[in-house]
Chains A and B, each alone.
Chain A
Amino acid sequence: MKLSHIGADFRIVSRTYFRNPVALFFTLIFPIILIGMFGLIFSTVGSGAVTVQVINEDHNPNGTGYTPVSVAFLSALNKTSVVTVQLVSVSPQNFSTYLGQNDDTAGIVIPSGFQNDYYNRTSVNLTVYTNPEAASSTGTVLGAVQGVANGFNLKAACNGGTCSPVIGFTSLNVGSQVYKYIDYLIPGLIGFAILTSPMFSMVDIASSYRKDGIFRQLSLTPISRSEWLTSRILWYVVMTFVTAGIMIGTGVFLFNAHVTLSLGLVPYLVIGPFFFVSLGMLAGSVAKSPESAALIGNVITFPMMFLSGTFFQVSSMPAGLQAFAHILPLYYVIDGMNQVMLYSNTSKALVDLLVVLIGSIVVFLLAVRLFRWRDE
């Protein structure tokens, strides 16, 4: 391999690219559209806390602020992290209308005398408003209120702490924090770009360069097939860094995504394109015509595009599909990036990386072997 040959070809690729408005669109604008679109569509799904509007009528006797018990109750609700309490000052008679007008899905009224009744162990009722159309948030809110109320009831029954609950539980989140959909979406869509942009263009290049005699032309020069393929891989590595940067930037800026930027991401952004440029070249080389090349490319690309954890997490898929996902190379790229960017799980990330690396070397060697400049 001669670096000067790779460099010369790299200049040709980059010039071709920068002079192609469609290619520029897909590198610079499309990632923003993708993240923006999917981020908006799914921003309400699994985003954690449901906002609950609260009217607290239980003021201190001297009229300054709320009673400690009502404040403790609301703070306990907040700590469940499935609901976020927001105090409003609306009269309880108009509360239902107010919630409807403001598109709020849940509301709670703490009646006056709440603290007194609690201390006196007299029955007191909270009013909880929920929207039957928002079934999941209804369940969340009722569950949270029930849970907190049970805790307070237990304390009251035990005379303020002389007995402790028999069954308790400790709640821990997956990873170190609550992940939003956008957090999974960013590694998924970077994987999407690593897959689609080299696959589609390399399959096309492999067949059209052969048809136009450009490979034949190159075969008469000293550049070798592996040098040529390496220059293409390098180009897509650069493109992947640009796309990933844009996607992370858009996710963080528009949706406040949580992303751990570590050097551990770099190997995926290098080996991912290495794999898919080679695979695209291989697919394009075994095809007899540009039409069949496109078909082969699509057959390889489409299942991976949806089932490798790009738009949807693999763990949320049915068992059969999950097993299928594990034979898709892109799964390991995306899972590895998830491990690095979300969970900081280095050992799992290394296993993923190793799988992709070995696959890449095999596919690269096959591609170099099977793609021919000249005919027999």
Chain B
Amino acid sequence: MSAAIEVEGLVKRYGPLAAVDGIQFSVPAGSVYSFLGPNGAGKTTTTEILEGLRKRTEGNVRVLDLDPWTEGGVLHKRIGVIPQDFRFFEKITPKEAIEYYRALFHTQVDPRALLEKVELADKANARFDTLSGGQKQKLGLALALVNDPEICFLDEPTTGLDPHARRAIWAVIRSLKQEGRTVFLTTHYLEEAELLADRVGIIHHGKIIASGSPAEIIAAHGKPARMTVVGSPALAAYLQMNLGASAVVEDGQVSVTLREKGDALKILTAIEESGLPWTSFTTTHDTLDDVFVRLVGQMDEGALKTEGSG
């Protein structure tokens, strides 16, 4: 698969402050890439540089093999963008907005079909200022699709939306991928990235601190999966002796790390054979959420220590 987006050593400085500080990633065509990070991490700045809306300070950026800043005019005909907090002409209806874009892009898209795709057909003739936050965002999505784009940039498309509206947007994003489009999605909802993205980049203070598929990131940065039973220290000692597994006792719970697929069965068998009393077992594994909180937390602590010692 060729790369739809290629970024190397990207830096964006505002005065002495580096909002984006030497990041590197690539997004294969037809995949969903999610940029994950807390507010102010540099997500929007990076996205706007990719869209050709902001000039970079340093680095190499190719989007569909074009330079977004100098070749924006050509690029914009091939990408679709929904900015954060999409706004449009207040007195114009979704149908008219699509007709406007259709005239500007010289395409033949059917406004009705497009509005149905984003579940906004019932508001086709409502003025923009009467639409809810979710409906406005859906119109933004529809307009981004008027020119049948190869890449869709979605900058926090579901921020501030209710769960129902959020799911509707997710459904559209999934269909974009099915249609073979590349999706570049920024979000601070980990659930969203985990559900939709093929690959995730976690950005913090302008740097990518982890990247890969959600599973890869969890495997690399998360704690291993564990099985926990309610039992005595004696049980922990028994398991350690018989399985060679490291068993930890805490608050009357015995916790054993799972290294392989078959480990859970072996541990349960050993517990039964021990004849010692035990109740309720659970298995736990880290989510992207846990990894994210830990990574961001570690980085902030590190930053604090450095500042303190300096």
Chain A interface (Cβ within 8 Å of chain B)?
A: 4-5, 7-9, 11-12, 15-16, 19-20, 212-214, 216-217, 219-223, 374-376
Contact = CB atoms under 8 A, between A and B. Distances in A.
Contact of B88 (A217, A219, A374): A217
Nearest to B80: A220
Given A213-B87, A376-B55, 6 more contacts: A12-B96, A20-B91, A217-B83, A217-B143, A222-B105, A375-B54
A212 B104 contact: no
Contact of B103 (A4, A20, A374): A4
B76 to A, nearest CB: 5
Max chain B C-beta neighbours (<10 A), residue from A7, A9, A216: A216
B189 interface: no
B91 A19 contact: yes
A165 B143 CA distance: 87
B76 A222 contact: yes
Contacts of B285: none
A213 B79 CA distance: 18
Interface string B67-92: 00000110011010101011111111
Given A7-B103, A220-B81, A15 B76 contact: no
A376 B15 CA distance: 13
A216 B106 CA distance: 20
B51 interface: yes
A122 to B, nearest CB: 83
B92 A221 contact: no
Contacts of B127: 19
A interface SS class:
helix
Contacts of A11: 96, 100
A9 B89 CA distance: 11
A5 B103 contact: yes
B101 interface: yes
A9 B99 CA distance: 11
A349 B188 CA distance: 64
A216 B73 contact: no
Contacts of B53: 216, 219-220, 374-375
Contacts of B100: 8-9, 11-12
Contact of B77 (A12, A20, A222, A375): A222
Contacts of A216: 53, 83
Nearest to B101: A221
Interface residues of B, number: 30
23 contacts: A5-B103, A8-B100, A8-B103, A8-B104, A9-B100, A11-B100, A12-B100, A15-B91, A16-B89, A16-B90, A20-B91, A213-B83, A213-B85, A219-B53, A219-B76, A220-B76, A220-B79, A222-B104, A222-B106, A374-B53, A374-B54, A376-B54, A376-B55
Contact of A214 (B77, B89, B91, B105): B89
Contacts of B90: 16
A271 B81 CA distance: 37
A212 B55 CA distance: 20
A219 B72 CA distance: 9
B208 to A, nearest CB: 23
B87 to A, nearest CB: 4
A5 B127 CA distance: 22
A374 B72 CA distance: 11
Contacts of B77: 222
A216 B54 CA distance: 10
Given A5-B103, A7-B103, A221 B88 contact: no
A18 to B, nearest CB: 8
Contacts of A220: 51, 53, 76, 79, 81
Max chain A C-beta neighbours (<10 A), residue from B77, B90, B104, B143: B104
Contact of B105 (A15, A213, A221): A221
Given A5-B103, A5-B104, A221 B91 contact: no
Max chain B C-beta neighbours (<10 A), residue from A11, A212, A220: A220
Contacts of B86: 213, 217
Nearest to B84: A213
B104 A221 contact: yes
Interface in B21-70: 51-55
A228 to B, nearest CB: 10
A11 B104 CA distance: 12
Max chain B C-beta neighbours (<10 A), residue from A9, A15, A216, A221: A221
Max chain A C-beta neighbours (<10 A), residue from B79, B87, B127, B143: B87
A7 B102 CA distance: 12
Contacts of A16: 89-92
Contacts of B103: 4-5, 7-8
A374 to B, nearest CB: 5
Contacts of B76: 219-222
A12 B100 CA distance: 8
A311 to B, nearest CB: 33
B100 to A, nearest CB: 5
A216 B127 CA distance: 21
A230 to B, nearest CB: 14
Contacts of B83: 213, 216-217
A23 B262 CA distance: 74
Contacts of A15: 91-92, 96
